[in-house]
Chains A and B, each alone.
Chain A
């Protein structure tokens, strides 16, 4: 019967078209290996630049990175659903114990959390540690509060409510922020504490550094914490914060590097170190390393090799892309320590890098 054959023929054509679409997309790049990673939004701008540049260095491999937040990076690498994770909050001892195998933290760049805000007229503000803590605790609720005015003499502050914006997802950027607040405010440490996801006393939640900067950008009166690159690239202010030495410091590549100076000398072997509230006149108080999380024993040789080759490129050649994107490069002592660590990454007992 004509009708029947017509039906099946039509179905066949549709299926064939779809299969071709799938096959074409797959076939044209079948020579490439795909590495999947997920995690922090903090370094996403520089990672995406790296992955784009690295395909020119080594066209046989492609890195797909989804910025779902540090919490996601930790979770997914523990579940082994990705090849590498990324986080700017170091994993806790418990989390490392829960992981199916030994995980290594590889520092990649340095960045800074800034207290960005959105006020009409874009006044230049500066903050002290207790101001920040009390704003995020919800104790200071208006922009023209006398305590803010005290630290910012001569600046016209509007009579507007402060709209706090924080992260709604598990975030290393959050970790850096609350780690700092816990160090400078006993009340914060007791009431809220540290973590990639905390019980915020006040505020709206945004997803990712992208979500928070998006929210602050579109909400007059808002204040939130984002990585420096996100603030600058979106024409949002990156205000000075008073550091432990009592000086107001501007977040920048130099002040971030200064924050890492002390830690670089005494870097622990697993690279898990906190850089917040460091000593030093020029140090910006809310800076941090960001890490890539990889398994010490790789389960796939080709992938393991691609990974360590990329990591070695990242800590050397990749560092030249940092300044454009407002991240600070790794201190040189740290780089040599990382090199040594990379040589410890193995496949079935044999180091993957020694072959180079």
Chain B
């Protein structure tokens, strides 16, 4: 094996094969600089994003302080801006989406990686990848013309008459609203949960499965005892990644959520998420404070998604990391 006693920084170049020609050495330096500059560009972009947005949001932060997060009026006439209805809408629509997507997603992932006969895996995986590739605006289009009318004419009246005593299902059947948003988000988030869960499940070493099978477990029992328990944190990570995706989703939600900044107990009511508020009002915030408040909402969204995604990745890596130890 070649000894790597080269310089502490720079490429892993073995010491005894330096570029003898001057041109080569000069080229190396230039190249090294170039690639380091590209990496720094990424750093610059991300930090620039935070700085620029913080600066733009500053007037609003100064004017409202912490109250911004807890006030529920979004009133551009009186210049009172509170983000609570938006935070509420974002959380409720995302949670609703997860409620539907997590059991379906993890179930499907388990099916695809553990329980399915081998011939069925490629076509279904392919179909799920196609689902992930459909852009948000196309989901929104389908949502407006297929999902919302179906909800308005079939589902919401049925739910309203059967379960109308619950505040969750009260109110006129708009079609669009929180329920539509949650459903569409669920459809959009499911492929991600499946993809990451499958990776996590595949990372579980076969030794675990073989041990369970050797003890006479059925396929399901193997999955439950050997695989799922092992991969638990990774699966939670997959769910969090799905949450991260749902929190930031803009177009499809804007098209079916009803665009109303209000907190309501009913799933039938219209709502608003942070992302769709920005999409609707950004180009026309007529006062500087208004624009600043919108950027502050953007900053909030940025912060929340970063935290959720960071947590998710930690959890997913933890399964992968444990695997490395077992193998070596």
Contacts and interface: CB of A to CB of B under 8 A. Distances in A.
Q: Within the complex, are A and B direct neighbours (CB within 8 Å)?
A: yes
Contacts of A75: 283-286, 291
Interface string B268-292: 0010100000001101111110010
Given A94-B287, A170-B281, A205-B258, 17 more contacts: A68-B283, A72-B284, A169-B284, A170-B76, A192-B77, A198-B75, A199-B75, A199-B78, A203-B260, A204-B174, A204-B176, A204-B259, A205-B260, A205-B280, A207-B254, A218-B144, A218-B149
A72 to B, nearest CB: 3
Contacts of B254: 207
B136 interface: no
Contacts of A170: 76, 281, 284-286
Given A161-B172, A205-B270, A168 B280 contact: yes
B270 A193 contact: no
Contacts of A94: 287
A61 interface: no
Contacts of A192: 77
Interface of B: 73-78, 144, 148-149, 152, 172, 174-176, 254, 258-260, 270, 272, 280-281, 283-288, 291
18 contacts: A38-B283, A68-B283, A71-B286, A75-B284, A75-B285, A98-B287, A169-B280, A170-B285, A192-B77, A193-B77, A194-B77, A196-B76, A197-B76, A199-B75, A204-B176, A204-B270, A205-B270, A218-B148
Q: Please give me the 10 A-B residue pairs with the lowest Cβ-Cβ distance, nearest first.
A: A205-B259, A71-B284, A72-B284, A168-B259, A170-B284, A195-B77, A161-B172, A199-B75, A197-B76, A72-B283
A142 to B, nearest CB: 10
A75 B289 CA distance: 12
Contacts of B287: 94-95, 98
Nearest to A211: B259
Contact of B258 (A74, A95, A169, A204): A204
Contacts of A221: 172
Contacts, number: 92
B77 A197 contact: yes
B285 A71 contact: yes
A69 B260 contact: no
Contacts of B284: 68-76, 169-170, 196-197
Contacts of A301: none
A98 B290 CA distance: 14
Given A203-B260, A204-B176, A219-B152, A196 B286 contact: yes
A200 B149 contact: no
Contacts of A161: 172
Contacts of B149: 218
A168 B175 CA distance: 17
Interface in A55-73: 68-73
B138 to A, nearest CB: 17
